[in-house]
Amino acid sequence: MTLALDGASAWVACKEQARVVRLNTRTGKISASIRLGAPVIAVTTGYGSIWAVDTGSTLYRIRPSPARVTKRVRLGAVAAYNVWIGGGSIWVADDQGARVIRVSAGTGRIEKRIQVGDGPAAMAFDGNSAWVINHRDRRLLRINLASNSVADLGTISGDAPERMTWLGDSLWITGRGTDLLQIDPQTGKVKATIEIGAGGIDVVAAAGALWVPVRSAAVDPTGFPTMETLRRVSSTTRQVSTGATAIGRVDVHGLQARDGFVWIADNRSGFVYRLRA
């Protein structure tokens, strides 16, 4: 369902098998496979560990080597959705609970349940702030990491803005029926609207550019993550180019960038793809 990078390893959340799988990024071979208690929906890396969330609303801390679960945290989420790292904490979206859950990276204890609005879908971090975008009410919010207080920055345009990253001094947001939007992180105002196609599936930053897998006009209304093209957008000139075109069906359920490469996990075919940025 999602993809995370850690050193020479790629960690993949496998929902159907309720597993987290580690791939050697040099050989492409599976080097570890850990079964969890329920279907796994998200994985990330940070603070020396791998963190995974399952549909049973449990957060797992996994030691990378040897790969094993070292802690389980019962989140009490209505519908856990995704997981991120930032501000010394682990953050889990409670999609139907209209909140994000902040967990201490050191103790594994729940520090705060923060109400953010209908459908928290993505988070980004910089300095003393975190941002949350909701894919249903389309609100963008900023969280003060010191106080956990929330500021509502307003509504973002688009049908379902649901993916977000940080690059330069801006937030970059896309989603179903949504162009790539460059957003002022302090005011929530749109600095630029960049035409990328029907709508973006996800967005990551690499080598001074944004990389956005884009749906076709026919697929976009369905919300399926089926990629038609992978767009590259310069963060300075905002020029759009095509980095790759899908041959056959590619469903993007994981997107990462590091060390000059963009990585895509295709959960339909069971492949992880690496592209030079």
Residue 268: predicted pLDDT: 85
DSSP 8-state assignment for residue 156: P
177-208 per-position pLDDT tens digit = 999 999 999 999 999 999 999 999 999 999 89
Distance CA 268, CA 82 (A): 19
Residue 105 identity = A
Cβ(61)–Cβ(40) below 8 Å = no
Distances (CA, A) of 26 to 8, 31, 111, 227, 266: 7, 11, 38, 25, 18
CB 1: neighbour CB atoms within 10 A? 20
pLDDT of residue 277: 86
**How deeply is 7 buried, as exposed, middle or buried, from its count of CB atoms within 10 A (0-12, 13-18, 19+)?**
exposed
Q: Is 222 helix (H, G, I), strand (E, B) or coil?
A: helix
103-107 contacts: CB < 8 A, separation 24 or more? 103/59, 103/73, 103/75, 105/46, 105/47, 105/49
Q: What pLDDT is attached to residue 269?
A: 87
What's the confidence (pLDDT) of residue 106? 92
Q: How many residues does the chain have?
A: 277
pLDDT of residue 98: 94
pLDDT of residue 232: 97
CA-closest candidate to residue 78, choices 103, 61, 55: 55
In this prediction, residue 3 carries a pLDDT of: 94
Tokens 């975008």 -> residue: 133
Residue type, position 74, single letter: R
Measured over the CA atoms of residue 200, residue 211, residue 141 and residue 76, the dihedral's sign is positive
> Do residues 45 and 52 make contact, with C-beta atoms less than 8 angstroms apart?
no
pLDDT at 251: 96
Q: What is the pLDDT of residue 259?
A: 86
Contacts of 258 (CB under 8 A, 6+ apart): 5, 206
| pLDDT averaged per 10 residues in sequence order, the chain, 277 residues | 92 92 92 94 96 96 93 94 95 95 95 96 96 97 98 96 96 97 97 96 95 97 95 96 95 93 91 91
